[in-house]
Amino acid sequence: MRALKLAARKVPRTILLIVILLWVLVPIYFLVATSLVPEGVTLNGLELPKAITFSNYAGLFSGANSIWIPLINSTVVTIASTGIALLLAVPAAYALSHLRHRRSGRAAYLSFFVLRGIPPIALVMPFYLIFARVNMLNSLPGIIIALAPLALPYCVWTLRVTFDQIPREVEEAGAVDGAGRLRMFFSVVLPIAAPGIAATGVLSALFIYVDYIIVAPLAGPQTYTFPIYVTSFSQDFVQLVGPLSAAAIVGAIPMAIMFIVSQRFSRRLASAGIH
């Protein structure tokens, strides 16, 4: 009887899980299927493609409209901007974690909410005017500098929570052993916080990777990123659905690689911190 009750309780969860999986997997299936059919062929619902072709993928890597440059640009911009944001956010979040019971710490923490509340579109014109004066328009460094501050507030919020969860006894034990605050931060605190830092970096990288509003006015033909490249498949009132679907799948590969690498790296650091 008890087993039946437990099974009955699991039924709603199972149904909900199936619905969520279908909600996620059906669009992915449709995207993959659409990328494998010839241009001009449309699929009715979830039917399997009758003729499979890789011409949509081949077209991405050849010709004047190749995906290589935008993909490389997006990868470089994402890694650099995320790295700068984390480099600034980690010490800031650690300091705010130790000042969370002070008025100055709470005020500084709330200031990041205010900064994140500024609409990105409001920053486009200032960035454009400043970069035009210093000759940084249509350059990857300019795009990197513009995108890094957008991820900084989010990184500080999440990383402060990560540092708050680290027991103070860990730092006190390091102090008893004679370790200075700087050494203790790098050898003890940072490895323990590595999984949280990696997760924050991946989510921030995702936001930066898909940004269009900030990048579009600052980029040129040689510095177009992946989101701008994707818009080239919409011509007037015609959308090239097959190439667009193929580009979406190829464009997701760099983020998948970044996620896998960051997870493995964070696990090694966390293990080092525990030992």
Residues 16 and 125 in one domain: no
Tell me the sheet residues that pair with 234: 239
| Residue 120 burial (C-beta neighbours within 10 Å; 0-12, 13-18, 19+) | middle
Same structural domain for residues 169 and 248? yes
Neighbours of 96 (CB within 10 A): 23
- Of the residues 53, 75, 94, the one at which a domain ends: 53
Report the alpha-carbon distance of residue 157 to residue 96 in Å, rounded. Answer: 10
Average pLDDT of the segment spanning 120-134: 91
Does the pLDDT value for residue 179 go beyond 70?
A: no
pLDDT band at 119 (very low <50, low <70, confident <90, very high): confident
Q: What is the mean pLDDT of the chain?
A: 82
Q: Is residue 59 part of a domain?
A: no
35 within domain boundaries: yes
How many other C-beta atoms lie within 10 A of the C-beta of residue 119?
Answer: 8
Residue 234's φ and ψ, nearest 5 degrees, are -105, 110
pLDDT of residue 66: 87
Determine the angle formed by the axes of helices 2-35 and 241-274, rounding to 10 degrees.
130
Nearest to 78 by CA among 207, 196, 198: 207
Cα 43 to Cα 28: distance, rounded to the nearest angstrom: 14
- Indicate whether 183 and 121 sit together in one domain: yes
The arithmetic mean of pLDDT across residues 201-215, rounded, is 91
Residue 225 lies in a domain: yes
Q: Are residues 156 and 79 in the same domain?
A: yes
| H or E element in which residue 139 lies | none
69 with 48, same domain? no
Q: Do 186 and 248 fall into the same domain?
A: yes
Tell me, yes or no, whether 58 lies in a domain.
Answer: no
Phi and psi torsions of 225, nearest 5°: -100, 175
Give dist(CA 250, CA 115) in Å, integer.
33
Count of H helices and E strands in the chain?
Answer: 12, 2
Q: Do both 152 and 236 map to the same domain?
A: yes
* Residue in this structure with the two tokens 């974690």, named with its chain if needed: 97
Question: What average pLDDT does the segment 258-267 reach?
Answer: 73
CA 154 to chain centre: 11
- 60 occurs within a structural domain: no
CA dist 167 and 274 (Å) reads 13
Tell whether 105 and 176 lie within a shared domain. Answer: yes
What mean pLDDT do residues 201-228 have? 91
CA angle 157, 163, 169 (to 5 degrees): 160
| Higher-pLDDT residue of 43, 156 | 156
- DSSP letter at 232? G
- Domain assignment present for residue 217? The answer is yes
265: pLDDT strictly greater than 70: no
Query: Is residue 139 domain-resident?
Result: yes
Per-residue pLDDT tens over the stretch 189-200:
888 888 888 889
- What confidence category does residue 213 fall into, taking pLDDT thresholds of 50, 70 and 90? very high
Which pLDDT band, with edges at 50, 70 and 90, does 142 fall under?
very high
Residues 200, 251: one domain? Answer: yes
Kindly state whether residue 130 falls inside one of the protein's structural domains. yes
Q: Work out the average pLDDT over 64-90.
A: 93
Same domain assignment for residues 46 and 106: no
In tens, the pLDDT along 20-62 reads 988 888 888 888 888 888 876 766 666 777 778 888 888 888 8
> Count of domains in the chain?
2
- Residues whose CB is less than 8 angstroms from the CB of residue 219 and which lie 6 or more positions away in sequence, other chains included: 138, 143, 225, 228
Contacts of 47 by beta carbon, 8 Å cutoff, 6+ apart: none
Domain range holding 109?
A: 65-274
Backbone angles phi, psi at 241, to 5 degrees: -65, -45
Which pLDDT does position 193 carry in this prediction? 87
Rounded to two decimals, the pTM is: 0.82
CATH number (domain holding residue 228): 1.10.3720.10
Same domain as 168, residue 85: yes
- Please say whether the beta carbons of 123 and 214 come within 8 A: yes
Q: 179 — alpha (psi -120 to 50), left (phi > 0) or beta?
A: beta
Which sign does the torsion angle of CA 31, 33, 34, 36 carry?
positive
Task: Summarize pLDDT for 198-207 with one digit per residue, the tens.
Answer: 889 988 998 9
- Considering the domain architecture, whether residues 20 and 97 belong to the same structural domain is answered as no
Q: How confident is the model at residue 70 (pLDDT cuts 50, 70, 90)?
A: very high
